[in-house]
Amino acid sequence: MTKHSAFSAEDAAPAQPARRFTSYPPASCRTAAAQAATGSWLDAAARRAEHDDWMEKHPSALAEFEAVLGAAKGKQVVMFLDYDGTLSPIVKDPDSAVMTDEMREAVRGVAERFPTAIVSGRCRDKVFDFVRLAELYYAGSHGMDIKGPTAQSKHAKAKVCRALTASTAAIPGATVENNKFCLSVHFRCVQEEKWRALEDLVRSVLKDYPDLHLTKGRKVLEIRPSIKWDKGNALQFLLEAQGFADSNNVFPIYIGDDRTDEDAFKVLRSMGQGIGILVSKIPKETSASYSLQEPSEVKEFLHKLVKSKQRD
């Protein structure tokens, strides 16, 4: 199997051997320096081994593209794409997480050939504003915007949004994002020493709202209604809505980077159909079968898929 070539530079073993000192530092420091260098080299080697092991279990969807195509042969590919960290890079300001025009064209190309859905934690309108492609299905608020909760829960959420905004104002850098049926409390710009305090504040606000629960994403606390409705349900709902319920001839491909995407990966595993692709540079516990390192590889994968359709 092809191993990942783009192993990150900071993980690589030091290029230089231990330096030679003439008079300074003294022998004891030399030993300490040599031990530190050996230690960090061993750490790097262990990290590389862990990464290689993970790549054996979750090979690159690009390197194994022909195998993916082989598995999809004769079946209807249905594409599911997470937004943040999959189609757009992770950035500090959630409102600036735009996708590039090249990525938009790649998604458009796929959507012209395969039924395609965006499944995001963001509210549907916001993710649509970023993607701006009319020909797609959109599932916002972790899929809740397909099967919307009641007006009463929306009202409760507006209240909790105000309460969270007020109570987290004391933590510099914390921001609250209203995702219509869900809320996000961002801490990417909060000093690490304050993370615990922020979580405690959020949890204390949520005590008054037993119908809401908290999950964690990439430097984000996500608050959602405690109903069994996640990206996995959204995937099943969208397959049914597109007429693929109980079909053996469907090959869903779900690409995502975060914990909430795991619900969709698990659904695919239990269906025994299609594949999940995790977008990650580092080894992570996942139910996805394949991996891609970053959004630029997602774009390349989408381009390959479009080309494969032209080959048919």
| CB 217 within 8 Å of CB 198 | no
Closest approach, Cβ 203 to ligand L263DTV3, in A, equals: 18
DSSP letter string, 46-112? HHHHHHHHHHHHS-BTTTTHHHHHHHHTTSEEEEEE--BTTTB---SSGGG-PPPHHHHHHHHHHHH
What is the contact surface with ligand L263DTV3 in residues (CB under 6 A)?
82-85, 90-92, 94, 97, 120-122, 177, 179, 184, 186, 188, 217-220, 222, 258, 260
Nearer to ligand L263DTV3, 47 or 180 (CB): 180
Whose tokens are 């022909």? That residue is 66
Distance in Å, CB of 135 to ligand L263DTV3, minimum: 19
CB atoms within 10 A of CB 168: 22
Is the peptide bond prior to 25 cis by the omega test (within 30 degrees of 0)? yes
Per-state percent for the chain, helix, strand, coil, to nearest 5: 45, 15, 40
Q: Are 250 and 239 in contact (CB under 8 A)?
A: yes
Nearer to ligand L263DTV3 by C-beta: 47 or 184? 184
Q: Which is nearer to ligand L263DTV3, 83 or 181 (CB)?
A: 83
The distance of closest approach from Cβ of residue 119 to ligand L263DTV3 in the complex, given in angstroms and rounded to an integer, is: 7
Q: Which of 71, 85, 117, 112 is nearest to 237 (CA)?
A: 117
Active-site choice (11, 52, 82, 95): 82
Q: Which is nearer to ligand L263DTV3, 120 or 233 (CB)?
A: 120
Smallest distance from the beta carbon of 50 to ligand L263DTV3, in angstroms? 24
Query: Going by DSSP bridges, is the β-strand pair 137-139/116-119 parallel, antiparallel, or unpaired?
Result: parallel
Q: Are 173 and 185 in contact (CB under 8 A)?
A: no
**Nearest distance in Å: CB 218, ligand L263DTV3:** 4
Residue 312 known to be catalytic: no
Closest residue to ligand L263DTV3, Cβ-based? 121
Rank residues 63 and 98 by Cβ distance to ligand L263DTV3 and give the closer one.
Answer: 98
Q: With beta carbons less than 8 A apart as the criterion, state whether 69 and 308 touch.
A: yes
Q: Which residue lies nearer to ligand L263DTV3 by CB, 72 or 267?
A: 267
CB of 81 to ligand L263DTV3, least distance (A): 9
Task: Taking each helix axis as running N to C, give the angle between helix 231-241 and helix 261-271, from 0 to 180 degrees, rounded to the nearest 10.
Answer: 50
Distance of alpha carbon 256 from alpha carbon 44, whole angstroms: 27
Local structure of residue 135 (DSSP, 8 states) = T
The residues assigned a catalytic role are 82
